[in-house]
Amino acid sequence: MMITAQHIAQLQQQFAAFITPLWIHVEVASQSLRLLRQDKVLQEYPVSTATLGVGCEQDSYKTPYGAHSIAACIGGGQPIAEIFVGRRAIGKTATIEQQAVATGEDLILSRILWLKGLQGNINQGAGVDSYERYIYIHGTQEEGLLGQPASHGCVRMANQDVIDLFEPVMVGTFVYIAG
């Protein structure tokens, strides 16, 4: 499904105080992430959002919806498939599974874009806070599962894709997750 000009205009109006010229739109229904400059799609990537669907509740293992911004960009300069634990590179790389097979692990690889919710009582604040839930856009070892729900709440990307996305974005970049 392609994001419509009407939907883009609606988001730009609704979130005018937060939206940045370069921004990210994640669409759970199509398992896709789009990088936009104002109203133009620059790039589209397949992603995996949560196996359990969308929701903002703490400990729900669901992908939060709504308006977010990037709170931290972590991992610049690290090798592709570098494993992160507690947002720190551990000096080991993962084996990437290209087949549509669950490995039983939800590794955080290559780069981390840590999200902060912008909507009080929706994805920001007690019991629903995306930042406190450690919701990221990050690389995955399960690249074969991209395009279908497979995460524990984060937005997973192919490792080269998240490295490519990491370059033009910065802290404060607007991210909208359409549930």
Give the confidence band of 1 by pLDDT, cuts at 50, 70, 90. Answer: low
Containing 54, the helix (H) or strand (E) segment is: none
* Model confidence at 49: pLDDT above 60: yes
How far is it, in rounded angstroms, from Cα 62 to Cα 153? 4
Given this model, what pLDDT does residue 153 score? 97
Global pTM reads: 0.96
* Model confidence at 2: pLDDT above 90: no
Given this model, what pLDDT does residue 3 score? 84
Tell me the β-bridge partners of 11. Answer: none
Give the confidence band of 179 by pLDDT, cuts at 50, 70, 90. Answer: confident
Closest CA to 56 of 109, 12, 106, 118: 118
For 17-31, the pLDDT digits (tens) are 999 999 999 999 999
101: buried, middle or exposed (CB in 10 Å: 19+, 13-18, 0-12)?
exposed
* Model confidence at 16: pLDDT above 70: yes
Q: What is the mean pLDDT of the chain?
A: 96
